[in-house]
Structure formats: structure tokens, C-alpha cells
Amino acid sequence: MKLTISLDILEEAFYYVSPMKPVSTVPLIYATFLIEKSQVAYTTDNEPKFIRKIERLFKAAFHEIVQGNQAYREILDQDQLLPLEEHLAQQSQLIESVKAAIQKYPELNLIRLELAGSWPVFQTEAGHLDLTE
């Protein structure tokens, strides 16, 4: 069975999104795992999720991801201008850190990572988000 989780590093939260991945206006990372039936629990709405033991491992990995990417989180949160190459380098480092943190736990069988939502790549001062408008 496959289970997908969205990682919202700005809000420091994750959500189970299987089987439907919602469209997002914030930068998200979708992590898809191949899991065994014994690793699955169900919510009261009959939605799949990790059993507690596996979820604790995932939470530890997620905490490491958030802490390890604090600088880029702040850049995204404050909508700072960066050159194209810097955004792509930061995003590449973020993905590598996600892979590394999750792969520390053999019980978490990561099979796919996706960037979704609104990730900045190119932006000028005129494209700066003014949240007061």
C-alpha cells in the first residue's frame, strides 16, 4: 500500500493526504511511502495513517528536517528575494535533507518526493508578495 504525507515546513506540520493530493498555495513536499498492512491505522473517517510507532519515527525525521532547514524556512516565510540559482540550490538541499532524515529509519520506506504548491524560483522586487494588500 502507498501512503502520501504532505510536509508543510513553514507551519511545521504534516498531513496525511492519501489518496488525493490537494492543490496548495503554500510550498509543500509530498512524501510517498510504501507501507505494509501492519503499519497502517485508520482515522474515524476511515482515512489511512501510520500506526503510532511508525508515526513517532516519522515525527522524529520531520523534526530533523524542520530544524535542519531553518534558514531556508525563514527565507520562504519572509518572501526574501534570492537569485534563481540560490533558490534551486536551497530546494535541492532541502530535498536531500528530507531523503536523508527519512532514510535513517528503515521502517519508513520512502518511494517518492514531490515539490507542490507555490515554490519561488524567480522573483523580482515587483513580484514581492505584499500581504497587506
The tens digit of pLDDT for each residue in 63-115 reads 999 999 999 999 998 888 888 899 899 999 999 999 999 999 999 999 999 99
**pTM for this prediction:** 0.88
Q: For residue 132, is it within any domain?
A: no
Indicate the pLDDT class of residue 60, thresholds 50, 70 and 90: very high
Cα–Cα–Cα angle for 64, 19, 6, rounded to 5 degrees = 20
DSSP state of 125: G
Q: Which residues contact 51 (CB under 8 A, 6 or more apart)?
A: 38, 39, 40, 41
* Contact in structure between 102 and 59 (CB atoms under 8 Å): no
Domain range for 43: 2-127
Other Cβ atoms closer than 10 A to 12: 13
Give 128's pLDDT tier (boundaries 50, 70, 90): low
User: Does any domain span residue 40?
Assistant: yes
Q: Identify the residue with better confidence: 78 or 58.
A: 58
Has residue 71 been placed in a domain?
yes
Q: Is residue 133 part of a domain?
A: no
33 in a structural domain? yes
Domain total for the chain? Answer: 1
